[in-house]
Amino acid sequence: MSTIVFAGAAQFAAVGYVASGLAWPGIILLTALLNARHLLYSAALAPWLRDVPTARRAVMAHFLADESFALAISHFRRLGRGDERGYWFAAVVATFIPWNLATLAGVILGAQIPDPARLGIDVIFPAAMIGLAVGLITGRRELVAAIVGAGIAVVVALATSPAIGIVAGGILGPAIGLLVPASIAAETAPLGALESADRSLMPDSHVDVDPDPPRDPPGSDAAPP
């Protein structure tokens, strides 16, 4: 299942539902709901990977998960362009292979761990997700989207189900984040430099906007700060 489905939250849920005897159509429906957030991930990655041939993008899609998305898009934003090799590294080397090896280890050794909850394993997923989210926050827009998305997700999850809450937060959080003026978002990027604002630029949209760059004094070859 880890190889074919490759979606941790859905796998955990499915195991629980199978054990409780839930009918398959219910499991399939819940899997679709839980994984609906991948729609947003793939749409967000599309502009960065537009130069990759369609067949390879079709294969790339299977390896798209929370972790591979976060690692890949933060890498692209740092570079200011898409990077196919970087995507494969994030998706396969950093996520798919460890996930499947860990699954295998769990199958073989899991029974020897009397109570996994005592090891604090349950806190790893939310801690990793918030850590990856922090890595993507480069300005006020992202910060507002994350806070509002989390708040909406919890409220909707309590009213309906966690899967619907996550999708609602993922759709509405960015919409509220967009209300933050772009100029402020750029100004508050963490490094406080032009490069940090460039992280959020559309791929291949880098333009030299300074029509009259300052001239270095003759004989000076000092690098700009």
In the region spanning residues 58 to 117, those forming contacts with other proteins, defined by CB under 8 A, are 58, 60-62, 64, 66, 69-70, 73-74, 77, 115, 117
Q: Report residue 62 CA to chain centroid gap.
A: 15
Size of the site for other proteins (CB under 8 A): 94
Write the Ramachandran bin of 6: left for phi over 0, alpha for psi from -120 to 50, otherwise beta.
Answer: left
Could you tell me the smallest distance in angstroms from the CB atom of residue 144 to other proteins?
Answer: 8
Q: Which one, 79 or 150, has the nearer CB to other proteins?
A: 150
29 and 20 Cβ atoms separated by less than 8 Å: no
- Of 199-218, binders to other proteins (CB under 8 A) are 200, 202
Using CA atoms, how far apart are residues 72 and 203, in angstroms rounded to an integer?
Answer: 14
- Of 2-31, binders to other proteins (CB under 8 A) are 4-7, 9-10, 14, 18, 24, 27-28, 31
Under the binding rule (CB under 8 A), the answer on residue 146 touching other proteins is yes
- Which alpha helices (DSSP H) does 2-139 contain, by range? 8-20, 24-34, 37-45, 54-62, 66-79, 84-88, 97-109, 124-136
Using CA atoms, how far apart are residues 176 and 182, in angstroms rounded to an integer?
Answer: 13
Sole binder of other proteins in the list 88, 173, 186, 197 (CB under 8 A): 173
Sole binder of other proteins in the list 105, 161, 195, 216 (CB under 8 A): 161
Sole binder of other proteins in the list 96, 177, 186, 196 (CB under 8 A): 177
Could you tell me the smallest distance in angstroms from the CB atom of residue 211 to other proteins?
Answer: 22
Local structure of 201: helix, strand or coil: coil
